[in-house]
Amino acid sequence: MTLKEQAFITETAKTLNPTKAVEKVYNIGSQGGSKTKAQAKSVATTIAHKNMTKVDIKEAMKPIVEQLELARQRAIDKLEHTESDAKYRDLNDGIDKLTKNIQLLSGKPTDRQELNLIDDDQKERIAQEILNRNKNNENSVE
């Protein structure tokens, strides 16, 4: 596992957001050929998804995902006993956020692919270029 991948796991565990972790660890937004914030986020999401599909990273995320699943189940259980509309809405929002984090940390998609601003080939090229640059930077440091 590379240093960047280890940093990705650590940052993802802190933020529970693989895309933000990639943006920070791989320094996306200030480089990488992305013209807009939306494109930078899209590229970061592609890299996060690539990382999340790696077996060793999935294994490292399992305990975090399990804790999120337990928290989500507790929130679902509370829904049945909630009488206030406000509390119900808060629990529902929490369940939605937990579900999205579980999907992200499990390497599953959380967005509707037809809404992407750049095509998959372009995202893949940009993501691969960023990964190659970072790998070259790591090798030059060692």
Give burial (CB, 10 Å; 0-12/13-18/19+) of 101.
buried
**pLDDT of 34 higher than 60:** no
What gap in Å lies between CA 79 and CA 112, rounded to an integer?
Answer: 27
**pLDDT of 30 higher than 70:** no
3-state secondary structure of 91: helix
Higher pLDDT, 22 or 120: 22
Q: What percent of the chain has pLDDT over 90?
A: 1
What gap in Å lies between CA 15 and CA 13, rounded to an integer?
Answer: 6
- The reported pLDDT for the residue numbered 13 is 79
Q: What percent of the chain has pLDDT over 70?
A: 80
Least confident among 1-10, 33-42, 110-119: 110-119
Cβ pair 48, 104 in contact under 8 A = yes
**pLDDT of 51 higher than 70:** yes
- The reported pLDDT for the residue numbered 109 is 67
- The reported pLDDT for the residue numbered 87 is 83
Give the model's confidence band at 136: pLDDT under 50 very low, under 70 low, under 90 confident, else very high: confident
Work out the number of other CB atoms within 10 angstroms of the CB of residue 126.
22
Q: Using a cut of 0.85, tell me whether the model's pTM lies above it.
A: no
3-state secondary structure of 123: helix
Q: List pLDDT tens digits, range 106-118.
A: 777 666 555 555 5
What gap in Å lies between CA 72 and CA 28, rounded to an integer?
Answer: 31
